[in-house]
Amino acid sequence: MKIVSILINDIDLSSDDHDRYLFHYGRDSDVVKESIRRVGLINPVILKKRVDTDGAYNVICGYQRIRACQGLGYERIEATIRDDLNEEETLLLVLHDNMFSRGFNEIEKAIVLRKFLDIGFAYDRVMAKIAPLLEIPPNKNIIDKYLSVLRLDSEIQQSVAGSELELEKVFLLVTLDDVERDVVYRFLFKESVTNINEAKETIRNLLDLKLIKQLEMAELLSSSEITHILSDSKSNKRQKGEKICRLIKSMRYPSISAKEEEFDKSCRAMRLDNDVRINHSRYFEGDEIRVTLKASNEEKLGNNLERLLLNIKNGTFKKIFSLFK
């Protein structure tokens, strides 16, 4: 394709639809700017003439490079002009150009799906042609979840784009209203760290408590106990997350939480090593415990079995089994 020199002022970078072919989100533009400062513009950008304005161009590929050159004081930029492409062909060009040059973060994947749907792609076609290129399962429910992420506020989207917040956690936030989402994001994902299973259970418990106690999530999560947990400088974010989840669970299931505390206390009293695990059934619904034993040799196996037998004799296990009654 012929390369031409274009005035940057003739490129549309600010109209309502200037980003119609832009998939970029949450990228560090300073990296591109520093690269151009050092070695200049290596690859020309790709533009398309605007049909409604004489002498103006839409950006197809190279938005960051154009902004970087503009910031460096460039007046002109080398470009190729593609006026031979319809909307579908243009978006496919952008998709493949970005896919092979840098890939997509999760927010950008959602943007790609949205843009193809907006130009008239049916869900079946998006699932068959676009989702596999983005490494997204060809499932309408999953695609809808990706699209829902675009409705979240910029702080959460930035966290997703920067791989600070896992997509599964974001899908949990989408199910909440705006106020609930803000407080859950702050307390469970920003000021503390929880895994996906802890987050699911805690959000479920919070929704139950909201109905039981007739309190909003913001009130439940702003308690003095949680404030104390978050202000504890001796605990890291992961430890804070675990404590918050336990606290919320104890509020939702006080009797079960009391049993769990007593169970854990009894297990600690056995003074078993890390190769022995004792677990109870979920919510103490069964009447059995599970003992898991690991050993790399006969001596270690024998020692652990002796400790277990000793705790049977001294009544510690009897105390544990009493919790199931």
Q: What is the pLDDT of residues 95-113, one digit of tens each?
A: 998 888 778 999 999 999 9
Segment 241-253 shows an average pLDDT of 93
- pLDDT, residue 29, reads 75
At residue 193, the 3 state secondary structure works out as coil
Pair (166, 119) in one structural domain: yes
Count of other CB atoms within 10 angstroms of residue 71: 14
pLDDT classification of 201: cutoffs 50, 70, 90: very high
- pLDDT, residue 322, reads 85
Segment 297-319 shows an average pLDDT of 89
pLDDT classification of 282: cutoffs 50, 70, 90: confident
- Of 252, 282, 301, the one marking the end of a domain is 252
Pair (6, 95) in one structural domain: yes
Pair (96, 108) in one structural domain: no
Q: Is the pTM of this model over 0.95?
A: no
Regarding predicted confidence, which is higher, 325 or 219?
219
- pLDDT, residue 261, reads 82
Instruction: Find, among 239, 173, 180, 243, the residue nearest to 209 by Cα.
Output: 180
Helix 106-118 with 87-101: angle, nearest 10 deg: 170
Residue 76 confidence (pLDDT) above 90: yes
Segment 197-201 shows an average pLDDT of 95
Residue 31's domain is classified under what CATH number? 3.90.1530.10
Q: How many residues does the chain have?
A: 325
Residue 51 confidence (pLDDT) above 80: no
Structural domain total, the chain: 4
> Minimum mean pLDDT among 10-24, 148-162, 197-211: which range?
10-24
Determine what percent of the chain falls in helix, strand and coil, rounding each to the nearest 5: 60, 10, 30
- pLDDT, residue 79, reads 94
Segment 250-278 shows an average pLDDT of 86
- Of 81, 102, 123, the one marking the end of a domain is 102
Sign of CA dihedral 231, 250, 292, 197: negative
- pLDDT, residue 273, reads 84
Expressed as residue numbers, the domain containing 220 is 183-252
- pLDDT, residue 43, reads 87
